[in-house]
Every structure is written in C-alpha cells, then in structure tokens.
Amino acid sequence: MNWQQLPILQVILPLLAAPCCLLLRRSRWAWGFASLVGCLAFLIAAKQLHVIHNSPAGAISYQLGDWVAPFGIEYRLDRLSGLVLVVVTAIAAVALSVSRRLLKGEVPEERHHLFFAIFLLCLTGLSGIVSTGDLFNVFVFLEIASLSSYVLISMGRDRRALLAAFQYLVMGTIGSTFLLIGIGLAYMMTGTLNMADLAERLTMTLGSVYGEGASLENPALPVNQTRTILAAFGFLTVGLALKLALFPLHAWLPNAYATAPTVVSTFLAGTSTKVAYYVLLRIIFTIFGLTFAFQQVGLQYLLTPLAVTAILVASAIAAYQADLRRLLAYSSVAQIGYLVLGLSFATHAGVTAGIVHLFNHALMKSGLFLVVGCIATRQSGLTLESIRGLGRRMPLTMAAFVVGGLGLIGVPMTSGFVSKWLLVSAALEHDRWLVAVLVLVGSLLAIVYVWRVIEAAYFQSPDETGSDEVGEAPVGLLLAAWVLLGATLVLGVYTDLTVGLAREAATTLLGGGS
C-alpha cells in the first residue's frame, strides 16, 4: 500500500470530523463517531512511526499541494515527532472512548456534540503542531489547539472554571503572541519559514543571505549573531515557556486543570504541555542549534535553575493541596521541571531523558487524572477529606492511583524510575552533583504528596457511614485507567521500546541541529 498521504491524513481527519460531530447532534452518535476518529488517528500515528522507523532517512516529508519545500508548506516527521504523535493520539483515543461516561453530570447532554467537536479540533491542533515543518504553521496550529482548550476548560461544572479559562486565555494569548513576534523577527532576517531552511540560513553570513546587491554594514557577520535573531530567540523561548507552564510562568495551569471537566484534564495533562515541550526542543535544537542556544546565548544558565526551582517549589506546593486535581496539577508543574532539566543539559543523555520522561509522564498523569475522573463518577467531593477510606470502597480504582503515584515518585519497576534514572545519570555525566541531589530531593517531596493521598484513602476511616454504598467505578473507565497506568508498569520493566526510540530521536535532534 501507499502510505505517502499519512501525514496530511493525521491532521485533516480530526479537522473534518469536528463539524460532522456538530451534525450528528445526539450525544451517543457524536461520541461513537469521535471515538472512532480518535482510534483511527492513533492507528495512523502508529503506522507513521513504523514508516519513519523503517525509512533510511529516519524521516518522512510531505509537500502540501505538491509545492516544493521552502516555498510551499512542508510536513516533516522524524522519530521525535512520530513518538510524540503516538502519545498524543493514544491519550486522545483513550480519553474520547471514555468521555461519555465522564461527561455525565459535568456537561449537559445537549451540549455533548459541541464538546466532541471542540475536542477533535484540539486534537487537530496538537497533531498539526507536531507534524508541520513550517514555523508559521506551528503558530496557527498552536492557536487552534489553545483556543479549543480554553473552550473545553470553560465547560467545567465548577463556576471557577470560567475564570480559570479566561486567565488561561489571557496568558496563552500573550504566550502565542510572543511566539508570533519571534517568528516574525526570524522571518525578517532570513526570509524563510521552513524549519530546515531556517536552520541553514541562520548559520550563513548576512552577505550570502541577502545577495550581492544589498548594502550591508558587515556582510561577513553570520545571521545568528545579529541582535534581531537574539531577540527572536528570546521571544520564542519565553512564549513557549508560557505555553509549557515552566515555573514561574505556570500560574494558569493549576486552576485550569483543577476546574476543567475531568476528561479534559485527562487529555490536556498528557498532551498540551508535552506538545509545547516538543516545539521547544524543535526550536532550540533543530532551528537554532546547540551551539547557538547553549554556547552563544547560554540558555542553560536560565533553564537549569528554573527547572530545579520548578521541581522543588511545585512539589512542595503540591504537598499542601487539599484538592486532588490541584495536587496533580502542581505535580505536573514539577514534572515539567524534570522535562526542561533534561533539555538544559544539552547532552545526548539529557535530551534522551527528557523525551523518555515526556512519554512516561504523559501516560502517568493522564492515567492519574482518569482515576480522579473514576472517583468523580461515584462521589462529588474530590478533596483529600472526601476520599477518606476510599481504598476499601473502590479498591481497584485506588490501586490504580497508587501505581501512578509510585510512578510520579520514581519507584523502581515503574516507568517513572526509568526517566529519573536517565536524568540523574545524565546529570552525573558532567559531575552536576548538586542538580542530581536536588532531583532526588524532588522525588522525596513527591513521596510526601503521593503519601497524603494514600494515607487518606487507605489509613483513614470515612467520616459518615452513609456513603458506604459507593462501589467501584464503571468497568469501562476502570479499564481505561488501568490501560494507561498498566502501560507505565510494562514500560518500567521493558525499557527498550521507549528508551531506544528516544535515543534515536535525540540523535536526530542533536545531529541535525549542531
């Protein structure tokens, strides 16, 4: 068979399916259709990863409308994008297939078809960001994904969701406008938006980019030494840090995740920040290159302290949260610190650790939010007080939470251990003892916040006897949560799959960029 059209299909399928959901109107039909599309998207992503893996170049390129690359828009997928796409679509497929049950009692039934339409648009945006090889396209897809996630968050039944969505909208728009400024400045100096072309022209001299006729003060100056490019890099990094919720720009995240419908926090926790991290990797390594970002600008002096602070401060804040989802959200901010820390080492081992953790954390955090969704189907309270004694009433659900929690801590046999192991060994490779110790301190803090949940669920008896009839969550939901969290257990033992792929992805990134 001919698999050449897969890259465009990945993006266009959910895009076309979204308006179809509107036409279906009935909640059940729209849900069935959307889940089908989610599963198809996952199959396409899996097949694409297979094709990428087997292709000699380790990448596939798709020219939109057959316009040749630097002039037309190019979709370009290498191993990293293939891996991220699989994660995003897998989580979307799982979240969509259980969404109807989770939406009950959270979103009125007559609005379900709207919900599914916007969910699919969000998936379109996220897949588009990962697929495209054009910098301006990244901005457009980022806005599609962001705008639809603002809407999804505002659908939460808690009235605070409205303000959370509004605050996210303001912060997110500032972030993407920064991105737009950065892209504009880069275009101004190079005259191209294609990532590969941009990377090439940034290292050329001003004279060779502008040609003979241009009157330049200093034609021998490389483009990436100009102040405009420095400013572009600054704007791009800060804008993405906002989207990524890198400490101290994380203020929008806890409110948004804690008040959104549970299925939305399940989906976004595993995908949106991960995709922003992917774009950060692309911009730093593929476009600007290792030498520029780390030797000329010195990005590590900014990112390492911020990442470590994120790990410590956000974990500590998480330990003080009374609301389960807020606790998980602050834990997400801390885990983003681990991701960025891996990147800031700027070594092959560090980037590998970052990519592995992207994969593992997406599964863990989505699984954990899904467990919270399971609890929400049985009782309205989601605070530590209201889950007292839940370990006896919902043993399978809480066991899933324990598995995910152990993964967050990084206990051996879970996938969280694999990524922390890689991260610490990447730190020790260059004798960064202090950083390694601080990562371990972060894990200790993770023990504290995970323990608080376990203690409440298993070692405290419920206050009122009236709620004893609360039983297990619906089977389908439970199964979905166990699929995600079971996967983290499997990947904690069989590490070849993720680590092998991540190594190759890191090689492509570092090799192509420097």
Partner 1 sequence: MGLFNYWAVIALMMIGFYTVIARNNLIKTMIGLGIFQVSVFMLYISMGKVADGTAPIRVQSEVGATVYSNPVPHVLILTAIVVGVATTALGLALIIRIRETYGSIEEDEILEMDQQS
Q: Which residues in this chain contact partner 1 in the complex, by CB under 8 A? A: 136, 139-140, 143, 147, 150-151, 154, 159-160, 162-163, 165-166, 169-170, 173-174, 177, 180-181, 184, 187-188, 193
Q: Which residue do the tokens 């039934």 mark?
A: 109
Distance CA 308, CA 442 (A): 9
CB of 123 to partner 1, least distance (A): 18
169 versus 313: smaller Cβ distance to partner 1: 169
Going by C-alpha positions, the residue among 477, 467, 274, 292 that lies closest to residue 369 is 477
Q: How far is the CB of 377 from partner 1 (least distance, A)?
A: 24
DSSP character for 215? Answer: -
Q: Output the six-digit token pair for 174.
A: 């500032």
Q: Closest Cα partner for 196 from 511, 503, 505, 512?
A: 512
Decide whether 56 or 227 has the Cβ nearer to partner 1: 227
- CB-CB neighbours of 500 under 10 Å: 12
CA dihedral of 448, 454, 457, 460, whole degrees rounded to 10:
-60
Q: Which is nearer to partner 1, 210 or 458 (CB)?
A: 210
Residue closer to partner 1 by CB (options 43, 322) is 322
Contact of 372 with 262, CB cutoff 8 Å: yes
CA distance 420 to 178: 32
Nearer to partner 1, 159 or 466 (CB): 159
Which is closer to partner 1, CB of 231 or CB of 483?
231
Instruction: Classify 222 as helix, strand or coil.
Output: strand
Q: Write down the least CB distance from residue 165 to partner 1, Å.
A: 6
Taking the complex as a whole, the smallest distance from the CB of residue 505 to partner 1 amounts, in Å, to 30
Cβ proximity to partner 1, 159 vs 380, nearer residue: 159
- Closest separation in Å from C-beta 147 to partner 1: 6
**What's the half-sphere exposure (Cβ side, CA atoms, 13 Å) at 484?**
37
Phi, psi (degrees; rounded to nearest 5) at 178:
-60, -45
Residue among 78 and 143 whose Cβ is closer to partner 1: 143
Q: Which is nearer to partner 1, 321 or 415 (CB)?
A: 321
User: Do 377 and 477 touch, CB atoms closer than 8 A?
Assistant: yes
Residue 215 Cβ vs partner 1, minimum distance, rounded to whole Å: 11
Residues 307 and 338: beta-carbon distance below 8 Å: yes
H/E element, 78: strand 74-78
Report DSSP letters for 371-397, one per residue: HHHHHHHH-S--BTTTTTTHHHHSHHH
Task: Provide the CA 310 distance to its chain's centre, in angstroms.
Answer: 16
Minimum distance of partner 1 from residue 167's CB (angstroms): 9
Least distance between partner 1 and beta carbon 186 (Å): 11
Minimum CB separation of residue 462 from partner 1 in Å reads 24
